[in-house]
């Protein structure tokens, strides 16, 4: 087993990306870094947006820095994972992948300086939009297929293809990353798979896979089938209370398609989610990658040109709710890891304090008669407690508006009782089980926006998510008007 010192010093394959990364690693150290905001977190690492500064000049304006804690790596026996990730990154030379710019180290940490993808994880866009259109699903599924075909051509099987490991550039082009679980032909150690079972093929979960990349790549085809299912439905095909129940479903290939699932896409998913790897569409005995690319679902998709195309429209119709990467005041960010993290923590604490002050001030002075008159408020609260069965979910707050709405996630919809209250709060309840299911987070108009689509359908856009709501009574305008009124009441000082 290699040490973390070997991780930092090994150059990897003798390719152009590897040579460039090795040269940069000799040129820069952690004191050349300016850390921006945190953009991700793993078992033993944290990812930051950053700049690389040399002699007072910015040489890389925006990069992602994956900071790995060496003690955690050794404690979790994850050196093989780190070695595998670095080896794969140094071998890969393709536009569809996150690029390794350089590596650094100090006494406590390893640093992987990588391509920064400002649009974030593909998973966050599935959650935000609910699901993707056929055009978007076809495009991104096609890019994943090309990415895995390229990996196979250089002797790599990713083994952890999932929306969480796909990242989007500013132009919404896809980059595949996170190679810690990869199988690399000729590499001395293949890490044990420790990822989520939602996208893992049965032979991986049962540890029965044998052979090299010329056979094992079918695990990535299985994962692409899972991704396509999720792109169109909003959820992965295998779901359960815990990882064990998910694994049982995957091994049994037990899943169901929601109503209205595209029939051509359904055929492709069905042919990819096959238990026996040799029987999977795209396996050596079933035509390889060309057979998958020839499926009817991909009709008209120009394979070989996707990386240079403009992706189909994916962003919501409203302007982006939050562009935090535009708010970093780089001129005042200190160099080095320790100072940078300290500044980030202070900024978060200050922001939290200001938010709490604003909410406290708002909740005490709502300009509605019922709130301004204590006796009237108490009378209404007692009346609500006696007459409204949903009062127990409202934290003693008065209900301003309530009604049944269908909360949609992709092709799935759940009927929920929505409760708009002072506070402000927007709760939603499973009325059959009389169980609180969640709460929509509140903020000012900069980070929370309301969009009417039809008389029935409206969206609530918050940071990293869009709630798609459907009112069977066709009162979307009334809901939006009330929501905006409450927002103005509590966040009137927001720009």
How far apart CA 11 and CA 19 sit, in angstroms, is 8
Spacing of C-alpha 221 from chain mean position? 21
Measure Cα distances from 412 to 55, 256, 333 in Å. 54, 12, 44
162: its two tokens: 């999932």
- Domain segments of the chain as ranges: 1-116+333-363, 119-329, 369-490
The tokens for 251 are: 């091994």
Q: How far apart are CA 446 and CA 454, in angstroms?
A: 23
66 is in an annotated binding site: yes
- Distance separating alpha carbons of residues 419 and 404, to the nearest angstrom: 9
Cβ(104)–Cβ(113) under 8 Å?
Answer: yes
The CATH number assigned to the domain with range 119-329 reads: 1.10.510.10
Whole-prediction pTM: 0.71
Say whether domain 1-116+333-363 belongs to CATH 3.40.640.10.
no
Q: Domain 369-490 has what CATH class?
A: mainly beta
Q: What does pLDDT average to over the chain?
A: 84
Catalytic-role residue among 69, 93, 160, 494: 160
Domain 1-116+333-363 identical in fold to domain 369-490: no
Instruction: Report the C-alpha gap between 48 and 481 in whole angstroms.
Output: 39
Is the pLDDT reported for residue 103 higher than 60? Answer: yes
481, two tokens: 């008007």
Please name which of 195, 197, 279 lies closest in space to residue 239, comparing C-alpha atoms.
197
pLDDT tens, residue by residue, 424-466: 999 999 988 899 999 999 998 988 999 998 888 899 999 878 8
Sheet strands side by side (includes 465-470): 435-439, 425-430, 412-421, 399-409, 465-470, 457-462, 448-452
Q: What is the SS3 assignment for 364?
A: coil
- Give the span between the Cα atoms of 404 and 417, in whole angstroms: 4
Per-residue pLDDT, 92 = 95
Per the model's pLDDT, the better-predicted residue between 148 and 334 turns out to be 148
Render pLDDT for 384-419 as a digit per residue (tens, 0 to 9): 888 899 999 999 899 999 999 999 877 778 899 999
Q: How many residues does the chain have?
A: 495
In this prediction, residue 316 carries a pLDDT of: 35
CA distance 179 to 90: 11
How much of the chain is helix, strand and coil, in % rounded to 5?
40, 20, 35
- Kindly report, residue by residue over 105-164, the tens digit of the pLDDT: 999 999 999 999 999 999 988 888 888 989 999 999 999 999 999 999 999 999 999 999
Amino acid 145: pLDDT: 98
Q: Is 160 a catalytic residue?
A: yes
């Amino acid at each position: 087993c290699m040490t973390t010192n070997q991780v930092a010093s090994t150059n990897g394959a003798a390719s152009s990306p590897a040579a460039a990364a090795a040269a940069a690693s000799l040129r820069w150290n952690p004191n050349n870094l300016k850390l921006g905001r945190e953009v991700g977190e793993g078992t033993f690492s944290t990812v930051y947006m950053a700049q690389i500064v040399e002699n007072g000049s910015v040489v890389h304006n925006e990069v992602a820095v994956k900071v790995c804690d060496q003690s955690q790596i050794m404690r979790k026996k994850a050196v093989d994972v780190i070695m595998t990730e670095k080896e794969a990154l140094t071998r890969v030379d393709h536009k569809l992948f996150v690029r390794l710019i350089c590596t650094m180290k100090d006494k406590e940490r390893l640093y992987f300086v990588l391509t920064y993808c400002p649009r974030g994880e593909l998973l966050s866009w599935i959650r935000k939009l609910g699901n993707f259109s056929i055009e978007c699903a076809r495009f991104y599924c096609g890019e994943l297929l090309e990415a895995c075909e390229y990996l196979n051509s250089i002797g790599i099987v990713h083994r952890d293809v999932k929306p969480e490991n796909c990242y989007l550039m500013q132009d919404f082009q896809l980059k595949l990353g996170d190679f810690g679980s990869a199988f690399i032909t000729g590499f001395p150690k293949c890490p044990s798979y420790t990822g989520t079972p939602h996208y893992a093929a049965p032979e991986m979960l049962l540890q029965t896979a044998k052979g090299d990349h010329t056979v094992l790549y079918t695990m990535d085809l299985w994962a692409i089938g899972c991704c396509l299912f999720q792109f169109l439905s909003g959820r992965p095909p295998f779901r359960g209370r815990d990882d064990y129940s998910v694994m049982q479903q995957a091994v049994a290939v037990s899943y169901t398609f929601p109503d209205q699932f595209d029939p051509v896409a359904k055929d492709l998913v069905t042919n990819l989610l096959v238990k026996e790897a040799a029987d999977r569409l795209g396996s050596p005995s079933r035509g390889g990658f060309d057979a998958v690319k020839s499926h009817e679902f991909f009709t008209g998709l120009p394979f070989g040109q996707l990386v240079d195309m403009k992706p189909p429209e994916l962003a919501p119709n409203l302007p982006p709710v939050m562009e935090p990467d535009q708010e970093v005041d780089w001129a005042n960010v200190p160099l080095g890891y320790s100072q940078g993290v300290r500044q980030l923590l202070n900024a978060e604490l200050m922001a939290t304090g200001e938010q709490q002050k604003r909410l406290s001030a708002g909740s005490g002075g709502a300009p509605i008669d019922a709130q301004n008159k204590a006796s009237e408020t108490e009378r209404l609260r007692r009346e609500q407690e006696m007459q409204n069965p949903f009062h127990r979910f409202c934290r003693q707050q008065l209900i301003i508006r309530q009604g049944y709405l269908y909360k949609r996630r992709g092709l799935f919809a759940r009927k929920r009782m929505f409760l708009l209250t002072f506070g402000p709060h927007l709760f939603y309840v499973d009325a059959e089980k009389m169980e609180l299911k969640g709460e929509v987070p509140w903020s000012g108009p900069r980070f929370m926006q309301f969009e009417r689509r039809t008389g029935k359908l409206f969206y609530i856009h918050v940071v990293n998510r869009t709630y798609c709501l459907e009112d069977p009574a066709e009162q979307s305008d009334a809901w939006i008007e009330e929501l905006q009124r409450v927002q103005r009441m509590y966040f009137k000082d927001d720009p």
